[in-house]
Amino acid sequence: MKRSILLICLLALTTSVAFAQKESASVKHVMVYHEAGMFGGWPANHGIWSWGNEILVGFSKGYYLDLGDRHHIDREKPEFHMLARSLDGGETWTIEDPGAKGYLLTEGGFLHGVPRPDVSIPEMEDCEGGIDFTHPDFVMATRTNSIGSGISRFFYSYDRGHTWEGPFRLPNFGAPGIAARTDYIVDGENDCMLFLTAAKANGEEGRLLCVRTKDGGKTWKLVSWIGPEPEGFEIMPASVRLSETDILVAGRDREGDRRWISAYLSKDNGETWEKLDNPVEDCGIGNPPAMIKLNDGRICLIYGFRGEPYSIRARLSSDGGQTWSGDHVLRDDGASRDIGYPRVVQRPDGKVVALYYFNDLKTGPERYIGATIWTPPPR
């Protein structure tokens, strides 16, 4: 009997080690941005776009300052809104400063620092409409000046983010404020859906909603609220279109001491929503989801686990978000809980490129922007 138990334990250990080795062999980590004495953070607050092997991602840059349990960015110094671009599928990166060219992709209020002194904050305008969302080099970014009762705006580009138009005002859709991070689905030349976070009735963050324009950005109309107003918060949506009628949305949730990732399904193009089982029941102290539909039809969800071991993880769904795999741990060498906020794209060769902010014991105390290039297991 004892020998049987020992054999079972050895088999389980061998299987676990083999899985870990296979997983580690399928990932490659790349440094996107790291600078001594500086802080790189929060791709989830900015956006990601891709054209084949060309990838563009936004992030915040500030001055590093140890603030204990808070994000380690000096709030008394300027915050810069940056872009990183790869032309080879995420293997190498160059850093771009749109503000240096006069394109200040900012919330206006600077959430984690003071305005940079070298660039004037542009005035918001009302969009005249006519935006061609289907332009092959189109990108759009939506931003806010508050995580609660904020004022949100959007910018767009027809040349893959080299030059920008905006900022253009977004309505509050009857809420005390809107805290927009970039998440949209293009449905036609002048037709686009945005997935946003609104302040709750008490002005605190927040709840999810879906809005739409059919006139190229001139007017935006509320399509629906996604789920009821929560006791805690439900914020930072990530959406994928599953079909002409079906849309899957994941959100970042908090209530009391619990942190998780939720999911909702619409089968009528955003008019109504069905609550699904949670893709992730525990995120440590909480982290937003990044989500894409893979070439093989599966859904890939990336998130940062902000508990020990501090890690970047993936989950897969083969049935449109109804059920999910266990965690695929892409890396678990984080040195603190100040990590995550991912974005994700898929390369033409099928590899997944996840972008996030991170810090580890080898690199130093600074937070940096990292990329993990991952080969998902076969379907």
Q: pLDDT (tens digit, 9 = 90+) per residue, 216-275?
A: 999 999 999 999 999 999 999 999 999 999 999 999 999 999 999 999 999 999 999 999
Q: Calculate Rg over the CA atoms of the chain.
A: 20
What pLDDT is recorded for position 133? 98
Q: Percentage of the chain surpassing pLDDT 90?
A: 82
Low-confidence ranges of the chain (pLDDT < 50): 1-22
pTM for the whole thing?
0.92
Instruction: Work out the angle at residue 241's Cα, subtended by the Cα atoms of residues 212 and 223, and round it to the nearest 5 degrees.
Output: 25
C-alpha 21, offset from chain centre: 28
What pLDDT is recorded for position 67? 87
Q: What's the CATH number for 30-374?
A: 2.120.10.10
What pLDDT is recorded for position 115? 82
Phi-psi region of 358 (alpha: psi -120 to 50; beta: other; left: phi over 0): beta
